[in-house]
Amino acid sequence: MSATVPIPEVGPGVLLTLDGDDWSEGRGLVPGSRVEVVLSGLHPDDSDEWVWVAGHRPGCAYPHVDEHVPCLELRVRLAVLRRYGSARHEP
């Protein structure tokens, strides 16, 4: 049984501002660049340090015009996401 670190609860629509060190791989993104992404979904990675973030560029018309597959998908440090939302704490 693997120890799974809970993914922070960050709601859809939250704007994440990511420095080059905050993420590692992204579809169509320049490594090390600063990225802004409006969150649409989080997907676990197989590690306890990273999580996949799907979302849209801030200038994207979603969801006002068309629903579409997220324009951005990148692997972000869990520690960075914790700045935006906290993991659920069991009492």
Binding test (CB under 5 A) with Zn ion, winner from 44, 71, 75, 85 = 71
How many residues bind Zn ion, per CB under 5 A?
4
Binding test (CB under 5 A) with Zn ion, winner from 24, 36, 62, 75 = 62
Segment contacting Zn ion (CB under 5 A): 3-11, 22-30, 32-40, 65-73? 65-73
Tell whether residue 29 is a contact of Zn ion (CB under 5 A): no
Return d(Cα 19, Cα 8) in angstroms, integer: 19
Residues 39-58 that bind Zn ion (CB under 5 A): 56
Tell whether residue 14 is a contact of Zn ion (CB under 5 A): no
| Full 3-state SS string of the chain | CCCCCCCCCCCCCCEEEECHHHEEEECCCCCCCCEEEEEEEEEECCCCCEEEEEEECCCCCCCCCCCCCCCEEEEEEHHHHCCCCCCCCCC
Given the rule CB under 5 A, which residues bind Zn ion? Answer: 56, 60, 62, 71
